Structure 1
Amino acid sequence: MDASFKSDSDFNHTFVDEHFYFEDNIDGFGITMAILYLVVCIVGLAGNSLVIVAILKLDKLSSSTTVYIFNLALADGLFMVGLPFIASQNFQNQWMFGDVACKAVMVLDGINQFTSVFCLTVMSIDRYMALVQPLRFARWRTPRCAKIVSSFLWLFSLLTILPMALHFSAERGLCIPDIVSDAWWLGVLSYTFVMGFALPFAVMTASYAALLVTLRSQRLRTSTPNYESHHLERQVTKMVVAVVVVFGVCWLPFYTFNFCSLYQSGLVLTFARAFEFMVLLSYSWSCANPILYACLSDTFRKHFHTLLCPVAKSPPSMQCNTERYDMNDAAERDVTIPA
């Protein structure tokens, strides 16, 4: 591809044409972005690690909901592992870790990105089944079934990204894909846009829209005002808006810039810097999920409270309420879990 701009590959890896980078291109912007990358990495690892510990220690994967949330947090946490490598390349304008590490980081990054998106998509379907027709779909919402589905999602993510990840190499001093042609690159971008954003976004939107419509129709059919039903509808609406908006805001700019990069010819430095920020924004999505849990889920607020404020470490006057909270039951009641 004849280009002089910085772009990103289909699964969040920096594609940089060798003509764009210069040896002494480290400036205030580069330092600022390096710091932001570090902050996102630390917050993402800490937040998702807390979710994983909460589920393993306090829930023990006792419901389908928490099985999916566990796999989502695991994928988001591992997604952060590749971030320091990408940040190092962006900051130093070269890949320091060799060709094998380049391919390994690309595979790891791609698997976790796609698994994270696929888990969130399956969780939207799981929430619909749990809240609209829980008895009908009960046998499909067991922890065992959720573990099988999650295993399939990891395998499907690997098969989805492996052919593209193997096209990456560090032979030119940067971990970038070997572009066969403009048509090939457009095909890669289109394929990953559909698989990694458009299709999951459509499924999530459809599942949540059907959920909201069903809950509203059930409330309206009730002859007497039901505060609990109205409260349920409001909570689900908040959850839907939060999940869909955050997912769209974090990922749509990334894919938009990918396609724009095919036709970029002017303002190379400005475009490249804006694109780097979009890459950081897409990584920030993995930090958003634990924050959504803390803000929207009473279940996770209680679990985080228990883990971060253990009774044994607090004086009597400052002890936290660490009463046992059954997430398995709460998964059915607590519709504010962002899934």
Structure 2
Amino acid sequence: MHPHNSTNLLNRTSPPNDSIVNNPITTSIGALILSLVFILGCPGNAFVIWSIVARARQHSVTTLLILNLAIADGSLMALTPFFIIYMVMKKWIFGNVMCKILYYLCLANMYASIQLIMLMSLYRLVAVLWPQRVGAITSQRKVMRALAVMWALVMLASIPALIFRSVENGVCDSHHKKDSDVVLQYTLELVLGFLIPYAVILVSYICILRRIRQTKFRRRIRSEKLILAIVLTFCLFWLPYHMVNIVQVIWASSPKGELKTLLGRIWNRSRAVVACIAFISSCVNPVLYFFAGKSYIRREGLAFMARLFDIAGVDSRKSRQNSQNSRDKDKDADAVTLKDKDQDSLTNSSFNVKPMKNGN
């Protein structure tokens, strides 16, 4: 390839001022956010893991999913010092291999977090709509298999970070040779990391709410509120990141011109900040658990969070029992109604005897 053509290709797939850390304002904001995330997230997720493993008396499906979520988030929190140094120095000093591995682990955490939240929603759906089958569908062995498959898919889906991430001119970023590579990478993140899981989550909660409205047991259980809060906060902190992904995909698909230049500046200047905001989702869950279980602090002390997870397991069983009881009552009511109708029909038939003719 001619050197001039190679330069044009590089310019076509990179916006002006292609370093995402060249803006001192965004890097300062990013370093501050990551520092706060590290201070809250590392001890918070470690405490959640300790509470479940060492203190929780009941390991329900919900508790097992929360444990995996805490492990994924805690692993990400352990990586934040590398990115804080990157933001402060505005230069990647850890080498090309670490650039690929660290961003691979970050992308894997994003996929793992949303997939685990999706599994929580699906479990709630099964527990509410098909309580009589939930024991067979969500046995411990099947849940462990589902988690193993999920982690395998997460590791597979994160491979683009190993392919496209590299260090050039002191910047650890995705460097694409073609616009189609940009579209492939960020469309994959958008579809697998946001659109599909959130569509499943949304449909699940719509079905759950419809079922709850149809039953007489409408008590809002603690674990239901907690999982819904996890879903909403994850969406809140990851939505800006995926919006920037959409902007970059449109930028890569656009012909050269003012629009392409404008879109390039938008994603280039905002990606560092939105990536740091996304990190907040990994430290906020322990805060949610704290507020959900604060009523147990006086009585349980440091075991208050373990008590919260025990209650989550009890709530799961109660929701299934309530749904089953509601269905049994509906069946009993239908049986009584049918019996009454049969009795009425017998009574009506005995009183509607036609008079005999000629004394016969």
Unmatched segments (≥5 aa) in structure 2? 1-12, 252-258, 321-360
Following superposition of structure 1 onto structure 2, how do residues 216-227 of structure 1 map, counting pairs within 5 Å? 216-219=213-216
Change beyond 3 A, Cα 1:302–1:156 = farther
Aligned CA distance change for structure 1 residues 130 and 77 (closer, same or farther; 3 Å) = same
Aligned length: 298
Equivalence for 1:332: 317
When residues 281 and 55 of structure 1 are mapped into structure 2, their CA distance, relative to the original with a 3 A threshold, is: same
Moved more, 241-250 or 93-102: 241-250
Q: 1:308 maps to which residue?
A: 302
What's the counterpart of residue 223 of structure 1?
none
Which of 190, 209, 218 is the aligned partner of 1:230?
218
What letter is aligned with 2:247? C
Aligned equivalents of 1:105 and 1:117: distance in 2? Answer: 19
Instruction: Say if 2:58 and 2:310, in contact at 8 Å, map to a contact too.
Output: no
Q: Structure 2 counterpart of 1:107, which letter?
A: Y
Q: CA RMSD for the aligned pairs? A: 3.3
Structure 2 residue 234 is matched with structure 1 residue 247: yes
Partner of 1:13: none
Q: TM-score if structure 1 supplies the norm length?
A: 0.76
Match of 2:287 among 276, 280, 291: 291
Q: Distance in 2 between matches of 1:102 and 1:89?
A: 11
2: distance between equivalents of 1:304 and 1:80? 29
Contact 1:68–1:146 (8 Å) recurs in 2: no
Percent identity of equivalent pairs? 25
How far apart are 1:166 and its partner, in Å?
2.8
**1:167 deviation in Å?**
2.2
Aligned-residue offset at 1:215: 0.8
Deviations 1:241-270 (A, max 9, x none): 534432322112111112224266349877
Amino acid aligned to 2:102: V
Quote the offset at 1:186 in angstroms.
Answer: 1.4
Structure 2 equivalent of residue 108 of structure 1: 105
1:44 aligns with 2:56: no
Q: Which moved more, 1:78-87 or 1:105-114?
A: 78-87
**Separation in structure 1 between the aligned mates of residue 219 and residue 261 of structure 2, nearest angstrom:** 52
Say if 1:59 and 1:328, in contact at 8 Å, map to a contact too.
no
Q: Give the SS at the match of 1:265.
A: helix
Distance (Å, rounded) in 2 between the aligned partners of 1:324 and 1:195: 29
- Displacement of 1:133 in angstroms is 2.3
Higher Cα Rg, which structure? 2
Picking from 181, 189, 204, the partner of 1:192 is 189
- Counterpart amino acid of 1:245? L
SS at match of 1:52: helix
Specify which of 82, 92, 95 is matched with residue 95 of structure 1.
Answer: 92
Distance 2:129 2:234 in 1: 23
Greater helix percent: which structure? 2
Instruction: Could you tell me which runs of 5 or more consecutive residues in structure 1 were left unpaired when the two chains were aligned.
Output: 6-16, 220-228, 311-321
The question of whether the paired residues in 2 share the 8 Å contact of 1:67 and 1:143 is answered with: no
CA distance, structure 2, for counterparts of residue 66 and residue 241 of structure 1: 15
Structure 2 match to 1:279: 275
How far apart, CA to CA, are the structure 1 residues paired with 2:246 and 2:208? Answer: 33
CA contact (8 A) 1:294 1:301 kept: no
Instruction: State whether residues 21 and 272 of structure 2, in contact with CA within 8 Å, keep that contact through their aligned partners in structure 1.
Output: no
Deviations 1:214-251 (A, max 9, x none): 011113xxxxxxxxx23237x68755753443232211
In 1, Cα distance between equivalents of 2:125 and 2:236:
23
How far apart, in 1, do the equivalents of 2:260 and 2:46 lie?
39
Letter of the 2:232 partner, please give it: V
Query: Counterparts of 1:45-84 in structure 2 under 5 Å?
Result: 45-59=42-56, 62-84=59-81
Provide the secondary structure at the position in 1 that maps to 2:201.
Answer: helix
Q: Distance in 2 between matches of 1:171 and 1:149?
A: 39
